[in-house]
Structure 1
Amino acid sequence: MSALTMSLASRASRRKRLRIPLLLKIAFAWVALLAIVALFANELAPFDYMAIDLRNRLAPPLGFGGSADHILGTDELGRDMASRLIYSIRMSIVIAFGATMIGAFFGTILGCLAAHFRGVIEAVILTLADFQAAMPFLILALSVLAFVGNSLTIFILLLGLHGWERYTRIARGLAIAATGQGYAGAVRQLGAHPVRVYTHHILPNIASTLIVSMTIAFPEIMLVESGLSFLGLGVQPPATSLGSMIGYGRDYLARAPWILMAPALVISLTALAVSIIGDGLRDHLDRSTGSHAS
């Protein structure tokens, strides 16, 4: 009877752990919606986002005196705001996702190198990480864009430098801890190459923590991109992003606030949703680690 009771209690606790909070479900739904919009932007946009119609400039959104043809209104050149918002979501997500992956890849490699070689190489890598953390990223971005110029590829690579030192420190610490647990050393004693030890044994065990760090970095990079585009240093016309839409709308904040409010709301909700997902993943990993330890 006691065994049956323990089994039922175990099942109940397992179902409780697997239950997803409502707020986390909403966050996943919002991110999934943005992914669908980014993938099918060409099919979802009602108009060409670059099409100019000066006869219909600064038209208000539907419900505020506007028509159903432009449900989010038009901007100062008569361009459809809904179409521009859809393409801006695609551009901002591509930039943030690409920069996050670059920063995670670059930082993780440096962290693994520091953990493997130690000594002078470790000191040099940690010094570079401290230098990156101490320098304001905006100054670095302004310097690079002023000397190199701006293109989408350069912009994504530049944003990839944002926060790479975070992954370096995390990967280094976790790799050293994994090596100290013995399984990595045992595989190395069997003759495995160090690259294989890290890629097949150490990285899979620390990947969950790095993924949580990526969910934290993603909204940060999205906000940095928006800030640089707002200043005119990010995505250049005729391309558009959420930050550049806000930059265009600041001059019409009193006359046409919808130009600025729609992309600002999307940025805020996206940053909030990804942060909630990151917190949920962290809590799930903490519970899993605690249950395994017990």
Structure 2
Amino acid sequence: MALNDAAVPPALPAFGLSRLWRRLRRVPPLVTLCMLWLAVMIVTALAANLIAPYSITAFDLKARLVPPLLFGGKLLAHPLGTDELGRDVLSRLIVSIRMSLLIAFFGTLISTALGTMLGFLAAHFRGKVEQLVLIAIDFQASMPFMIIALSVLAFFGNSLVLFVALMGFNAWERYARITRGLTLAANEQGYAAAVRQLGAGPARIYGLHILPNIASTLIVSMTLTFPEIILLESGLSFLGLGVQPPLTSLGNMVGYGREYITRAPWIMLAPASVIVLTTFSISLLGDWLRDRLDPTLR
């Protein structure tokens, strides 16, 4: 009996796997595919230096404009073909994915942190501080951000740090409006007033009590800002004002590939496809998260 009992596997892992499987079955198939694509993009960005077969600056003029396998190419060494300088498109695509995702990630964090902080300030101090924040929000919302970005980059020059910081100023007014409105509503509710009466300071009230309650809304908004920054970075890099050589990004690759769209369309199609699929996946995932996290939509 002891041997038979020892041979029986424990029931807890099976129960855990079955519960996980039931949760996964609730996720729509299209959302699952989007999650898988985003997971592939994250792994590619983290391991870009390990999986890139060539250096992004290594060129071979003898292998110039070699077509990829889908376009009739016969070189397995360059499955996505080469560009006008004989550089491997796959290697540049892998490194470009990392650069674009890093810019979008840090830009989204800066935008979220800046907007959330200003929203808290407007909700806490009210009066003149609130009016100044609202004026700044209205000014930011009334100005096309592309024009602001072009002006700043043309006047101050271009560097990666400045470019990422500039991306962080995109859509911060959205977070400021959301944070201010939700904070004012939370101040009228019992839990914020109770913590304040217990002697908690503003930092504790907003950081440990109000922020966790509005985090789901902010997270959904981040899934909207992330693809916006990817597209904005791609547009600026396409115009030559984004990431500068020898660095590369998805928009940078599209910008260089437009000159060879008739002779070598694969140079532009590869990064353009990644941009479309990534932004679509993040947007669809954001819509699904909104339905899951917003109790009013259940």
Common fold by TM > 0.5:
yes
User: What does 1:191-210 align with in structure 2 at a 5 Å threshold?
Assistant: 191-210=199-218
Aligned with 1:92 (options 86, 91, 100): 100
Displacement of 1:69 in angstroms is 0.6
Displacement of 1:64 in angstroms is 2.3
Aligned mates of 2:127, 2:191 — CA distance in 1: 23
Distance 1:17 1:250, change over 3 A: closer
Aligned with 2:121 (options 107, 113, 125): 113
1:184-226 per-residue CA deviation (whole Å, 9 max, x = no partner) reads: 1110111101111000000000000000000011001100000
TM-score normalized with structure 2 length:
0.90
Displacement of 1:290 in angstroms is 5.9
User: What does 1:149-188 align with in structure 2 at a 5 Å threshold?
Assistant: 149-188=157-196
Aligned with 1:267 (options 256, 275, 278): 275
Displacement of 1:43 in angstroms is 0.9
Match of 1:74 in 2: 82
Match of 2:64 in 1: 57
Moved more, 142-151 or 237-246: 142-151
Q: Which segments of structure 1 move beyond 3 Å, counting only runs of 4 or more?
A: 15-18, 288-291
Match of 1:45 in 2: 52
**Matched AA of 1:230:** F
1:48-95 per-residue CA deviation (whole Å, 9 max, x = no partner) reads: 111010111100001423210100000000000000000000000000
TM-score normalized with structure 1 length:
0.92
Displacement of 1:289 in angstroms is 4.7
Aligned mates of 2:39, 2:263 — CA distance in 1: 33
Aligned mates of 1:241, 1:160 — CA distance in 2: 17
Aligned mates of 1:65, 1:24 — CA distance in 2: 33
Aligned mates of 1:248, 1:17 — CA distance in 2: 41
Query: Is the contact between residue 122 and residue 180 of structure 2 (CA under 8 Å) also seen in structure 1?
Result: yes
Match of 1:147 in 2: 155
SS in 2 for 1:192: coil
SS in 2 for 1:186: helix
Do residues 228 (structure 1) and 236 (structure 2) align? yes
Match of 2:35 in 1: 28
Aligned mates of 1:262, 1:76 — CA distance in 2: 15
Match of 1:11 in 2: none
* Structure 1: gaps (5+ residues): 1-14
Match of 2:12 in 1: none
Displacement of 1:240 in angstroms is 0.2
Aligned mates of 1:279, 1:68 — CA distance in 2: 39
**Matched AA of 2:272:** A
**Matched AA of 2:252:** S
SS in 2 for 1:270: helix
